[in-house]
Amino acid sequence: MNQIINTIVQLLQQGIAFIFKIVQLAWTWSFGEILRVAQSNWQALPIWKMVVLAIVLIGIAVMGFKVLRQLWDAGEKVLRAFVALLAVLVGVLPYVVIAGVIAFAGGWVIKSVNF
């Protein structure tokens, strides 16, 4: 049973690593293309190419805004989940302490009390 769980965990780790690799490749390629467009010689372009470049830059700005908004929302959700986790951990702390006291008392009775 332990080997099955280890295999599943390893498969999940490999899947997550693959997803991060794909995301890394997409980001690297996209930023390379954006930098190449931004480094264009704008003064040497004909007017119609400048219009296309302006449209491309507007599209990049819109997509950048959408990316930043989604990242902000995800960060906020992660922070809320972390705070909820801390609240649960603090909330169950009395029960953990009571369970420890019960175990301590039971151990003391088993070791110390003789009838």
Each residue of 42-77: pLDDT tens digit? 788 888 988 888 898 899 899 999 999 999 999 999
Tokens of 38: 């931004």
Closest to 38 (Cα-Cα) out of 60, 65, 68, 71: 60
Q: What is the mean pLDDT of residues 33-50?
A: 83
Q: How far is CA 93 from CA 12, 100, 101, in A?
A: 31, 11, 12
pLDDT tens figures, 93-112: 999 999 999 999 999 999 98
